[in-house]
């Protein structure tokens, strides 16, 4: 790795050491505070899943409740939680879009501040340092707890450092105050950048500030190891062996940097001609029986120092032991390389690592691939691999869950359709067409009678009976012989007829109005019935459309599940292939390294033999050189 890349990695490591932020700002605060803030049951339900470390359940709930408009006054909080959870779940692009949506003019300040802070973190992870500074500049000066303000300043100082603005970074660092772990990390990173720009003295000063006099916990001790190791190697490169030895000697023997530190510590002593001490250090390293490059190289360094001491016999033995050791390691490595070709082996290894079984799950590989497994990119990839496996399990569960939906819908539909014939029968009985025609005929008759002043049309039963009786009497009178008696009876009948019709004419307006009212009443009832029947029709139509809608949704979901399953499978396979290639590349590089060590050991051994021969042989040097 280039020095720039290494420094970048260290800075990233420092950022990763920021105290973990709750994924949605303050939502993971103290219980009482959070409990008091949750005003909405559905947001609370999403939090219930979030606090159980169920990011997928949290995201799905917020998406569903938001689209159902159920989040009420906690909507902005819920959207922050959504964006934060997506960010933590590796969906950087989606999270960024979510945070940006929260920045509209109507958003509350606390929401905007938190969104800007998260956007700054996203930009930092992408090495977009000007955007980090821009995002941080949007945050209100007084926002956040002292812890959040500290995190903000750390992010700003790191962004300035990575932009090469050392002095502003130092000023930010100086304003930071206190003696938090973050400040120590900042000092360490400042030292790295100063050393990178050739200002070693200032770098050493920054590293002095970064180190702890007496580390109080594992985290402080680990940082101390890192500082001393990096400082020691920088000093060693600058040829300041004594200072380098002092620094490297402070690295804990049991820490993760100890192999390289011990090797370099031995080298610093060697350069000061403290050969026996150097050999002692390297023997400590070799006794670890590890496969790290530092331990393997110590096997070469020991005979080299022994030869310098003049112990040629011991040096030769040590070289031979080193060659035998390299041969043995090469056989192990070759066998391991073959195993990585087997799909089941690789999948088992990745599953074990993804399940968090760490070195236990990768016991055989870890010694050779420790740097790979510990790297950020590998860890991110492993997380994706684990998430994809989770998505596969989820999709398989859904695939099985959709069929019951279909059955349930079919049953509900069948039940509904079974009720329909009865409904149709009622609908038929209540048909309004004939009733409407009768009503129209009656209205026409009423209009005609009114127009023609036909009082008889409104005669009641008694009047109709009287009229019938009078008609019968007049017909009998007509059959009488002509004469005065018939004439008198006919006159009486005409008078009676006139009387009845006069009564009818008198009653016509009242009776016509009464009938008109009745017809209106009936017409109103008829309209009500028609409306009711059309309501039933609409209900049936709506219910059928509802069933159709559900069926379409189920069908869409059913189509998407296998497509997404295929995509998950394909991505899992692609991850396996890339990781396999990378593992094999690294194992091959180590094989080459072993071959190089062996060549060096053989060459050194041959020179030792030459030297031994030359010291006992009186053949002229020129001839010996020619023979070689």
Partner 1 sequence: MKTFIFCLLSFVAVSVQAEDELRTLDERTQALKGEVQALGRELFQLEEELLHPSSTQVSVFLSMDVGTLFRLDSVSLKIDGKPVTHYLYTRRELDALRRGGVQRLYTGNLKQGEHELVAVMVGKGPHDRDYRRAASLKFSKSVGPRYLELRIVDSESRLQPEFSLREWE
- Provide the 8-state DSSP code for 290: -
Considering the complex, state which of residue 166 and residue 312 has its C-beta at the smaller distance from partner 1.
312
Contacts of residues 578-582 at CB distance under 8 Å and 24 or more positions apart, as own/partner, are 578/381, 579/346, 579/350, 579/378, 579/381, 579/385, 580/340, 580/341, 580/346, 582/372, 582/378
Choosing from 5, 198, 239, 484, the residue that interacts with partner 1 (CB under 8 A) is 5
Choosing from 250, 375, 454, 543, the residue that interacts with partner 1 (CB under 8 A) is 375
Stretch that binds partner 1, among 87-95, 99-107, 348-356, 421-429 (CB under 8 A): 87-95
What's the closest the beta carbon of residue 622 comes to partner 1, in angstroms?
28
Total residues at the site for partner 1 (CB under 8 A)?
A: 92
What's the closest the beta carbon of residue 45 comes to partner 1, in angstroms?
5
What's the closest the beta carbon of residue 268 comes to partner 1, in angstroms?
10
How many CA within 13 A on the CB side of residue 302?
27
Choosing from 387, 504, 594, 605, the residue that interacts with partner 1 (CB under 8 A) is 387
Stretch that binds partner 1, among 188-196, 374-382, 470-478, 605-613 (CB under 8 A): 374-382
Residues 212-241 that bind partner 1 (CB under 8 A): 233, 237
User: Does position 89 bind partner 1 by CB under 8 A?
Assistant: yes
x/- letters, 445..484, toward partner 1 (CB under 8 A): ----------------------------------------
CA torsion, ordered 80, 86, 88, 90, to nearest 10 deg: -150
Choosing from 364, 409, 435, 496, the residue that interacts with partner 1 (CB under 8 A) is 409
Closest CA to 28 of 86, 80, 95, 87: 80
Structure tokens at 104: 């509209």
User: What counts of helices (H) and strands (E) characterise the chain?
Assistant: 26, 0
What's the closest the beta carbon of residue 113 comes to partner 1, in angstroms?
21
What's the closest the beta carbon of residue 294 comes to partner 1, in angstroms?
6
Considering the complex, state which of residue 9 and residue 280 has its C-beta at the smaller distance from partner 1.
9
Contacts of 296 (CB under 8 A, 6+ apart): 325, 326, 329, 593, 594, 597
Residues 248-277 that bind partner 1 (CB under 8 A): 260, 263-264, 267, 270
Considering the complex, state which of residue 236 and residue 493 has its C-beta at the smaller distance from partner 1.
236
Stretch that binds partner 1, among 221-229, 480-488, 553-561, 617-625 (CB under 8 A): 553-561
| φ/ψ (deg, to 5) at 68 | -90, 5
Considering the complex, state which of residue 57 and residue 215 has its C-beta at the smaller distance from partner 1.
57
x/- letters, 110..129, toward partner 1 (CB under 8 A): --------------------
Considering the complex, state which of residue 31 and residue 433 has its C-beta at the smaller distance from partner 1.
31
Residues 21-80 that bind partner 1 (CB under 8 A): 28, 31-38, 41, 43-45, 47-53, 56, 59-61, 63-64, 67-68
Contacts of residues 148-156 at CB distance under 8 Å and 24 or more positions apart, as own/partner, are 148/117, 150/176, 150/178, 150/180, 150/182, 151/18, 151/19, 151/21, 151/117, 151/182, 152/117, 152/120, 154/18, 154/182, 154/185, 154/186, 155/15, 155/18, 155/120, 155/121, 155/124, 156/132
Contacts of 360 (CB under 8 A, 6+ apart): 352
Choosing from 550, 591, 610, 612, the residue that interacts with partner 1 (CB under 8 A) is 550
Choosing from 90, 313, 348, 498, the residue that interacts with partner 1 (CB under 8 A) is 90
Considering the complex, state which of residue 154 and residue 267 has its C-beta at the smaller distance from partner 1.
267
Residues 130-149 that bind partner 1 (CB under 8 A): none
Pair 139, 113: CB distance under 8 Å: yes
What's the closest the beta carbon of residue 69 comes to partner 1, in angstroms?
12
Considering the complex, state which of residue 47 and residue 459 has its C-beta at the smaller distance from partner 1.
47
CA distances from 242 to 231, 233, 249, 261, 283 (A): 12, 12, 11, 14, 20
Residues 561-600 that bind partner 1 (CB under 8 A): 561, 564, 567-568, 571, 574-575, 578, 581-582, 585-586, 589-590, 593, 596, 600
* Cα distance between the two ends of the chain: 38
Choosing from 134, 347, 379, 394, the residue that interacts with partner 1 (CB under 8 A) is 394
The SS3 assignment for 404 reads: helix
CA distances from 5 to 265, 379, 543 (A): 24, 17, 64
Structure tokens at 593: 């390294």
User: Does position 98 bind partner 1 by CB under 8 A?
Assistant: no
User: Does position 607 bind partner 1 by CB under 8 A?
Assistant: no
Q: How far apart are CA 448 and CA 22, in angstroms?
A: 87
Q: How far apart are CA 445 and CA 441, in angstroms?
A: 6
Pair 83, 116: CB distance under 8 Å: no
| φ/ψ (deg, to 5) at 149 | -65, -40
What's the closest the beta carbon of residue 34 comes to partner 1, in angstroms?
3
What's the closest the beta carbon of residue 81 comes to partner 1, in angstroms?
11
Q: How far apart are CA 503 and CA 348, in angstroms?
A: 110
User: Does position 389 bind partner 1 by CB under 8 A?
Assistant: no
User: Does position 499 bind partner 1 by CB under 8 A?
Assistant: no
Considering the complex, state which of residue 37 and residue 240 has its C-beta at the smaller distance from partner 1.
37
Q: How far apart are CA 288 and CA 403, in angstroms?
A: 59
Residues 344-373 that bind partner 1 (CB under 8 A): 371-372
Considering the complex, state which of residue 265 and residue 458 has its C-beta at the smaller distance from partner 1.
265
User: Does position 304 bind partner 1 by CB under 8 A?
Assistant: yes
User: Does position 378 bind partner 1 by CB under 8 A?
Assistant: yes
Stretch that binds partner 1, among 100-108, 310-318, 519-527, 558-566 (CB under 8 A): 558-566
Pair 510, 450: CB distance under 8 Å: no
Q: How far apart are CA 176 and CA 161, in angstroms?
A: 15
């Amino acid at each position: 790795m280039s020095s720039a890349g290494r420094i970048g990695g260290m800075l990233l490591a420092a950022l990763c050491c920021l105290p973990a932020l709750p994924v949605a700002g303050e939502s993971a605060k103290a219980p009482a505070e959070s409990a008091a803030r949750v005003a909405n049951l559905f947001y609370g339900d999403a939090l219930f899943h979030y606090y159980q470390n169920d990011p997928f359940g949290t995201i799905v709930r917020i998406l569903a409740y938001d689209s159902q408009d159920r989040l009420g006054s906690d909507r902005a909080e819920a959207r922050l939680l959504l964006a934060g959870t997506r960010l933590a779940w590796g969906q950087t692009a989606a999270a960024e879009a979510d945070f940006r949506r929260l920045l509209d003019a109507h958003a509350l300040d606390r929401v905007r501040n938190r969104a800007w802070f998260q956007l700054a973190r996203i930009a930092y992870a992408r090495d977009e340092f000007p955007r980090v500074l821009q995002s941080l500049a949007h945050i209100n000066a007084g926002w956040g707890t002292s812890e959040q303000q500290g995190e903000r300043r750390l992010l700003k100082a790191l962004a300035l450092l990575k932009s090469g603005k050392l002095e502003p970074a130092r000023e930010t660092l100086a304003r930071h105050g206190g003696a938090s772990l973050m400040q120590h990390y900042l000092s360490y990173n400042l030292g790295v950048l100063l050393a990178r720009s050739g200002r070693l003295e200032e770098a050493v000063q920054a590293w002095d500030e970064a180190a702890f006099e007496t580390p109080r916990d594992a985290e402080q001790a680990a940082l101390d190891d890192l500082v001393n190791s990096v400082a020691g190697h920088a000093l060693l490169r600058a040829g300041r062996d004594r200072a380098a030895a002092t620094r490297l000697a402070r690295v804990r023997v049991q820490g993760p940097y100890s192999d390289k530190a011990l090797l370099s510590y031995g080298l610093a002593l060697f350069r000061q001609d403290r050969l026996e001490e150097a050999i002692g250090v390297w023997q400590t390293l070799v006794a670890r029986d590890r496969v790290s490059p530092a331990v393997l190289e110590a096997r070469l360094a020991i005979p080299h120092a022994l030869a310098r001491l003049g112990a040629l016999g011991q040096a030769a033995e040590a070289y031979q032991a080193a060659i035998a050791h390299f041969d043995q390691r090469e056989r192990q490595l070759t066998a391991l390389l073959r195993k990585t070709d087997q799909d089941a082996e690789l999948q088992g290894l990745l599953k074990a690592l993804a399940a968090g079984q760490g070195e236990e799950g990768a016991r055989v590989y870890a010694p050779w691939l420790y740097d790979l497994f510990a790297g950020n990119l590998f860890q991110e990839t492993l997380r994706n691999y684990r998430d994809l496996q989770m998505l596969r399990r989820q999709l398989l569960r859904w695939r099985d869950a959709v069929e019951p939906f279909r059955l349930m819908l079919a049953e509900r539909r069948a039940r509904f359709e079974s009720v329909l014939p009865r409904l149709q029968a009622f609908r038929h009985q209540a048909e309004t067409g004939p009733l409407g025609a009768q009503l129209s005929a009656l209205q026409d008759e009423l209009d005609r009678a009114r127009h023609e002043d036909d009082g008889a049309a409104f005669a009641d039963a008694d009047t109709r009976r009287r009229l019938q009786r009078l008609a019968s009497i007049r017909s009998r009178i007509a059959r009488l012989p002509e004469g005065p008696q018939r004439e008198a009876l006919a006159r009486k009948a005409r008078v009676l007829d006139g009387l009845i019709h006069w009564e009818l004419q008198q009653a016509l307006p009242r009776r016509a109005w009464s009938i008109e009212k009745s017809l209106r009443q009936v017409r109103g009832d008829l309209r009500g019935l028609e409306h009711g029947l059309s309501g039933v029709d609409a209900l049936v139509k709506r219910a059928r459309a509802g069933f159709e809608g559900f069926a379409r949704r189920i069908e869409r979901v059913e189509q998407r599940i296998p497509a997404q399953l295929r995509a998950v499978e394909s991505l899992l396979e692609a991850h396996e292939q890339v990781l396999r290639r990378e593992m094999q590349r690294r194992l091959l590089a180590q094989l080459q390294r072993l071959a190089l060590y062996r060549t060096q050991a053989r060459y050194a051994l041959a020179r030792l033999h030459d030297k031994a021969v030359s010291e006992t042989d009186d053949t002229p040097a020129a001839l010996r050189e020619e023979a070689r």
